[in-house]
Structure 1
């Protein structure tokens, strides 16, 4: 499967909204728990925690976009839905996967989809939030 290191949190992906940046950082920290020694139960619990945290983060981010009347909110919601489906699919398949396969999938989702989502889609709504004076 995929064999690469988990991207680390860095200033490059800070959007400049403290609450959102903290939530993004937490998602990277949760994803990092999939590396190293572990057992199936711990990994599956971590996957459930990651899935639940993503739901909370996306809901809060969408509320922030709605509050500032961000014009691209519907497209952004669709992107969030896509990521939630990918996580849900992984959760469904995880029982038949090895721990390394689960870790590789989580790494791929965070390194690939989520990292790029922050750099493109999240950076796009920040000016709308700043224009409304929201935080």
Structure 2
């Protein structure tokens, strides 16, 4: 799938503080793959990214469950797809160059995840704001 890569910007902010902060942090983690690095640092950052994604998806799904989001099962499946892609990257990383790893991370966050936010996540925003109030 050919997907345009995007960086974090305010157009990704929903006004739901906990979700916005976590989304922004994921983009910052992806940006940390830029520049020179060594294999150990990259692998540690990949593990950190994996843990952060797991935490974010858990928090987001709990909010959606609390708000009785009607498409929660489909949203969980999208999250599972992303976790599978990240798991595949972790499995392949030992055989990849640092540039190849950085390219895959950029695709995952600045491509797939960006589009996920702009389509799937944007769908739940009105319900969450209604149920949680506009403060997030």
TM over 0.5: yes
Q: CA deviation at 1:9?
A: 1.4
Over residues 85-123 of structure 1, what are the superposed CA-to-partner deviations in whole Å (9 max), with x where a residue is unaligned?
Answer: 000000000000000000000001112110000001111
Runs of 5+ unmatched residues, structure 2: none
- Give 1:133 shift: 2.5
Aligned residue pair count = 132
Task: Give the corresponding residue for 2:59.
Answer: 60
Query: 2 CA distance for matches of 1:131 and 1:89?
Result: 37
- 1:69 alignment partner in structure 2: 68
User: Runs (4+) of structure 1 moved beyond 6 Å?
Assistant: none
Question: Which residue pairs with 2:112 in the alignment?
Answer: 113
- C-alpha distance in structure 2 between counterparts of 1:62 and 1:7, whole Å: 24
In 1, are the aligned partners of 2:14 and 2:125 still within 8 Å (CA)? yes
Unaligned runs of 5+ in 1: none
Equivalent position of 1:49 in the other structure: 48
Cα distance in 2 for partners of 1:10, 1:47 equals 22
SS of 1:43's equivalent in the other structure is helix
**Cα deviations by residue, 1:25-57 (Å, 9 ceiling, x for unpaired):** 000000111110100000010000001000000
Cα distance in 1 for residues equivalent to 2:121 and 2:60: 9
Contact 2:27 2:110 in 1 (8 A): no
8 A contact 1:15–1:122 mirrored in 2 = no
